[in-house]
Amino acid sequence: MKRDKIVIGSRESKLAVLQSEMVRDYIKEKNPDLEVEILTMKTTGDIILDRTLDKVGGKGLFVKELDKALIAGRSILSVHSLKDMPMEVPEELPLLAFSKREDPRDVLVLPEGASELDKSKPLGCSSLRRTLQLKKLYPDMDVRSIRGNLQTRLRKLDEGQYSALILAAAGLKRLGLESRINRYFTADEIIPAAGQGILAVQGRKGEAYDFLEGYCDKKDWTAGSAERAFVKLLDGGCSSPVAAHAEILGDEIYLRGLYYDEKDGSYVTGTLRGNKADAESLGRELAETLRKKGENR
């Protein structure tokens, strides 16, 4: 069936809408006869802000409402930050494409006008993954949870509630806020969340998506798939602070991973290099290796 209108489901935050607009603009450029609109909605993860994600149900809270809209036919596709996607994706709502990746690194953001850390105030951070790794970099600093959209977090920072925030470079760059970045953390200092910097386009089984032709970045589909395979083998990606980051180097893939042992709160990191054609199996292999290493400490 030929469509004349495409409806994209999106979270209603400024960043989410901007990311959906990036996909919308691609579709319109390639299919000028199509009408494309964005349907925004508030997800459970956007509403519950007084608790950390691991306490309220994990990543699925950011996609539930968008999934319902897709299933009901109110939208034809959804745009997500891949790092917010649960590892288990419903068979009837397949992942269609991954975007070219924006900068995947985590960054340090200081209050407006500040040039150094005020160590009397906490670092603001929204994930246990970052918190664990920050303790090595800033052992003498308190790390506190901060929730809310990017603008809300920056406002709290500039009001003086935190000494700095640790955020994803990708969101800041997409919103034109790159000038707020004080320092970039290498992937060895803080291993990013699986999928960080990649947009995921999700659709409904049985629909035709020829209007998306050419959108998927093959290199970052491979990298993102390896990262998700790593996380999926360990815990399904709901709330445990595992991390994975893959780089494609010619025909090779270089994968970093972090495994967290919930029994004693310790974690181990490691790397693996191999053929990019084996991306997902390498992700699982590194996960298994780190789990054994962690459990045998």
For 122-179, give the DSSP string.
Answer: PEEES-HHHHHHHHHH-TTS-EEE--S-HHHHHHHHHTTS-SEEEEEHHHHHHTT-GG
The H-or-E segment that residue 75 falls in is none
Which residue is catalytic, options 4, 54, 67, 84?
Answer: 84
CATH at 173:
3.40.190.10
- 209 with 67, same domain: the answer is yes
CATH at 258:
3.30.160.40
- 84 with 204, same domain: the answer is yes
The C-alpha atoms of residue 48 and residue 189 are separated, in whole angstroms, by 30
In 187-289, beta strands by DSSP E? 199-203, 243-249, 252-261, 266-275
Which range (19-33, 49-63, 153-167) has the least confidence? 49-63
Query: Does 17 or 4 have the greater pLDDT score?
Result: 17
- 223 with 297, same domain: the answer is yes
- 91 with 15, same domain: the answer is yes
- 159 with 128, same domain: the answer is yes
Residue 263 lies in a domain: yes
**Three-state SS at 278:** helix
The fraction of the chain above a pLDDT of 70, given in percent, is 91
Residue 191 lies in a domain: no
- 223 with 211, same domain: the answer is no
> Domain of 257?
217-297
- 91 with 234, same domain: the answer is no
Number of domains forming the structure of the chain? 3
pTM: 0.91
- 125 with 244, same domain: the answer is no
Residue 235 lies in a domain: yes
pLDDT exceeds 60 at position 48 = no
> What is the number of helices (H) and of strands (E) in the chain?
9, 13
- 177 with 154, same domain: the answer is yes
Residue-wise burial string across 56-70, b where 16 or more C-beta atoms lie within 10 A, e elsewhere: bebbbbbbebbbebb
Residue 57 lies in a domain: yes
- 209 with 71, same domain: the answer is yes
Q: What is the pLDDT of residues 141-175, one digit of tens each?
A: 999 999 888 999 999 999 999 999 999 999 999 99
**Three-state SS at 255:** strand
pLDDT exceeds 80 at position 62 = no
- 86 with 4, same domain: the answer is yes
Q: Do 70 and 169 meet the contact criterion of CB atoms below 8 Å apart? A: no
Does 33 qualify as catalytic in the annotation?
A: no
What are the C-alpha distances in Å from 134 to residues 129, 179, 209, 281, 287? 9, 22, 42, 29, 22
Residue 193 lies in a domain: no
User: What is the average pLDDT score of the chain?
Assistant: 90
The C-alpha atoms of residue 20 and residue 39 are separated, in whole angstroms, by 10
Residue 192 lies in a domain: no
- 131 with 244, same domain: the answer is no
